[in-house]
Amino acid sequence: MTVGVDVSKDKLDYGTKTTTPRSVDNTPEGISSLLEDAPPGSVIAMEATGRYHKLLADTAHLWGFKVVVHNPKDVSKYAKSV
């Protein structure tokens, strides 16, 4: 299962295809809450956002999740093509 995360300076909005979207603070405590909520074996996917995605990406990797960081230009081009 993939957990998609919309990263901003202050918040992390996340969800899957089958869950209601949730939001946590972009802090170590918020990231821990997000990762505790993620199903085991999930892929944590996010868009690169300057430095704001790095703590989540690093922490998720340390917790044993597969992490995917997408290039924002690729995400934008994909969205326009759909």
CATH of the domain at 71: 3.30.420
The confidence band for 80, taking pLDDT boundaries of 50, 70 and 90, is confident
Q: Is the pLDDT of residue 65 over 90?
A: yes
pLDDT, the chain, mean: 92
Where in the sequence is the domain holding 14, given as residue range(s)? 2-81
Give the bridge partners for 45, in sequence order: 4, 68
Domain count, the chain: 1
Predicted TM-score (pTM) above 0.75: yes
Predicted pLDDT of residue 21: 93
